[in-house]
Amino acid sequence: MGTLLMTGASRGLGREAAERLLRDHPDQHLLLTVRGANGDRLAAELAGKTGNANVSTVPADLASFASLHEAVREIERRIDAGELPPLTGFLGNAGLQLTSTERATEDGFEVTFGVNVLAYYLLLRLLFDRFQPGSRIVVVGSDVHFGDVRHNLGLVPAPRWATVAELARPRPGGALAGRRAYATSKLGVLYLVHALARRLPDGVDAYTYNPGLVPGTGLLRDAHPVTRAVAGPLLQAVRATPFAMGPVAAGGLLAETALGPRPGASGSYLDRGKVAPSSPESYDEDREEELWAAAAQLCGLPVEVR
């Protein structure tokens, strides 16, 4: 038995994935990060719906480094006390798409980059030595990182990479800049996973998972009401095309990726569960290493894992 730590399980495809994990893997403990005081309620709801009480929560705010440090200390305490099985997996599903680039995390970083990239860097670095042989790390990405109409249907601007310091800095910008920051952060997820995979010991794998377009996940919840009113019906119409799938199907594939058969070599990009090439821009070891080193500095950690 092991523990799978998961973010973003309260709604959408994350909620569906959590339910599938509990139904299909009753011997796996599912530990969910929850922001606020709703952890007990979420765990009770999932246990009641699936009939599997092997689920618990830990408070964590991905927009606060202090909160993440506290969450990791609590996870380690529970493992060391025998309250949780050893850590054997990580599923990073939580992510943000905002309508500006002006908002800051508690630590002063642009929120989209801070949550979608830096928070995962910090969590995985702090837990690095806790992953047991055979562990699997999955971070949800997006095909919007390609930056072309085929992959984003013209709804999201192409990513625009810059130095990590620039990307992590709040800056003036409205809805267009916010959507571009989202695409750029998902390119950053690929760089992070590639750099992580090079450092993980043999037997511990890391993947980027692309769920495709999944209407109904709440990704537009920060958008203007008019934008939501226009985009909602459009996204539901797209749902009937090969470009998209519903939260139930997407959540099932995500759960299979987390705990099913090994999907491929560590570092792979998994497009709806199958190994596929990511964008040509996403294979850039110089950028990957620059991200790793800069993120370490921003998080107050040494560059290399000891």
Instruction: Outline where DSSP puts E strands in 165-279.
Output: 205-210, 269-271, 274-276
In the chain, count of helices (H) and strands (E)?
A: 11, 8
pLDDT tens by residue, 58-98: 999 999 999 999 999 999 999 999 999 999 999 999 999 99
pLDDT of 208 above 60: yes
pLDDT of 287 above 90: yes
Architecture of domain 3-299 in this structure: 3-Layer(aba) Sandwich (3.40)
pLDDT of 251 above 50: yes
Report the alpha-carbon distance of residue 31 to residue 22 in Å, rounded: 11
Report the alpha-carbon distance of residue 273 to residue 207 in Å, rounded: 10
Cα of 50 vs its chain's centroid, Å: 23
Specify the DSSP element, H or E, that contains 59.
strand 55-59
Specify the DSSP element, H or E, that contains 269.
strand 269-271
Q: Do residues 222 and 175 lie in contact, with contact meaning Cβ atoms separated by under 8 Å?
A: no
Report the alpha-carbon distance of residue 152 to residue 144 in Å, rounded: 5
Count how many Cα atoms sit within 13 Å of the Cα of residue 299 in the half-sphere of its side chain.
30
Determine the pLDDT at residue 36: 83
Q: Do residues 217 and 247 lie in contact, with contact meaning Cβ atoms separated by under 8 Å?
A: yes
- Quote the DSSP letter at residue 200: S
pLDDT tens by residue, 117-144: 999 999 999 999 999 999 999 999 999 9
pLDDT tens by residue, 156-165: 999 999 999 9
Report the alpha-carbon distance of residue 280 to residue 283 in Å, rounded: 6
Name every residue whose Cβ is closer than 8 Å to that of residue 96 and which is 6 or more positions away in sequence. 111, 112, 115, 116, 182, 222
Confidence band for 217, pLDDT divided at 50, 70 and 90: low
Q: Do residues 180 and 157 lie in contact, with contact meaning Cβ atoms separated by under 8 Å?
A: yes
Report the alpha-carbon distance of residue 286 to residue 94 in Å, rounded: 27
Q: How far apart are the first and last CA of the chain?
A: 27
